[in-house]
Amino acid sequence: MKNKMGKLVMVTAALTLSASLLAACGSSSTSGTPSSTAKTASSNSGKPYIPVISKGFQHQFWQAVKQGAEKAAKEFDVTITFEGPETEAQVDKQIEMLQAALDKKPTAIAFAALDSKASVSLLQKAKSSNIPVIGFDSGVDSDIPVTTAATDNKKAAALAADKMAEKIGDAGEVALVVHDQTSRTGVDRRDGFVEQIKAKHPNIKIVDIQYGGGDQLKSTDLAKAIIQGHPNLKGIFGANEGSAIGVVNAVTELKKDQLVIIGYDSGKAQIDAIKSGKMAGAITQDPIGIGYWSVKAAVMASKGEKVEKMIDTGFHWYDKNNIDSAEIKALLYN
């Protein structure tokens, strides 16, 4: 009898613990791990559900975007999930996440496309189901998104080109390490830089453009190959956080400190590189603002409110001269 009673107590305790754990999972905002799909929708909470699918998790930039999205979720009393693939090369994985999110019949969806064309058919499915689509950071080659909350990447990269010209005396050879040639951000940052050099700086020659998938190690190897292949090189533009740090690593390993490095984004490694003098400066976006506006616009669109077709979240140049200013410090993330 004692054994039976003991077993009954153990079973009851286990059931109670399981119920407690399940209850703890129910919150106003869930965050996906890099490889997970969002498994906790808002149907249980009764609040509008907005999945936010980013391009990745590996950079501090995306954590800052997540912070902004969660701020908006709290302010507008909606449930969000925030997720992305392990790397920004996993287009198929991101498409799977988008499909899984749509299967949950969300109120709206925020999406940062790794491939500006690959997702169009699923976004058309969302439109047909009256699910508003909000683009953020990276747009798609379609008019389906109600709006896109993003930096004007072409203008920002043009400013980076002007700064490069200024630092190298407006003459000589330069190269680019870009995160990809499929996303809107990759294309626009590359083209914005290249077009500005051609239009405004005729004595500067672009000798190479390589694509490192935003991966620091791959970008390091690519930058080393560029440097070794072009002994007269004066500077390299790294078009996102991983690309820029890869360039810094390459320059450090090859002891080519005379090369001018211009970066993009503003995570801790770039901040440190600028403060140490290894990087001349970089473009900072407003990732918290991007995340915030992606959710705010999704809420507005779901209510039928008017949303501007493009939400420009802004950008700034920063270097060792202004990195500690109040304006810039608010846009940096660690």
CATH 3.40.50.2300-classified regions of the chain: 30-150+287-313, 153-284
Q: Give the pLDDT confidence of 195-220 residue by residue, as tens digits.
A: 999 999 999 999 999 999 999 999 99
Q: Helical H runs in 201-325?
A: 216-229, 241-254, 268-276, 287-302
Q: Give the pLDDT confidence of 273-303 residue by residue, as tens digits.
A: 999 999 999 999 999 999 999 999 999 999 9
162 φ, ψ (degrees, to nearest 5): -65, -40
Output the pLDDT for position 139.
81
pLDDT higher than 90, residue 16: no
> What is the rounded radius of gyration, in angstroms, for the C-alpha atoms of the chain?
23
- What span, in angstroms and rounded, lies between the C-alpha atoms of 186 and 213? 9
Higher pLDDT, 17 or 145: 145
Output the pLDDT for position 45.
65
Could you tell me which CATH class the domain 30-150+287-313 is placed in?
Answer: alpha beta
CATH 3.40.50.2300 fits 153-284, yes or no: yes
What's the whole-model pTM score?
0.80
CA distances for 81 relative to 106, 207, 248, angstroms: 11, 42, 34
Output the pLDDT for position 270.
95
Q: Give the pLDDT confidence of 62-80 residue by residue, as tens digits.
A: 999 999 999 999 999 999 9
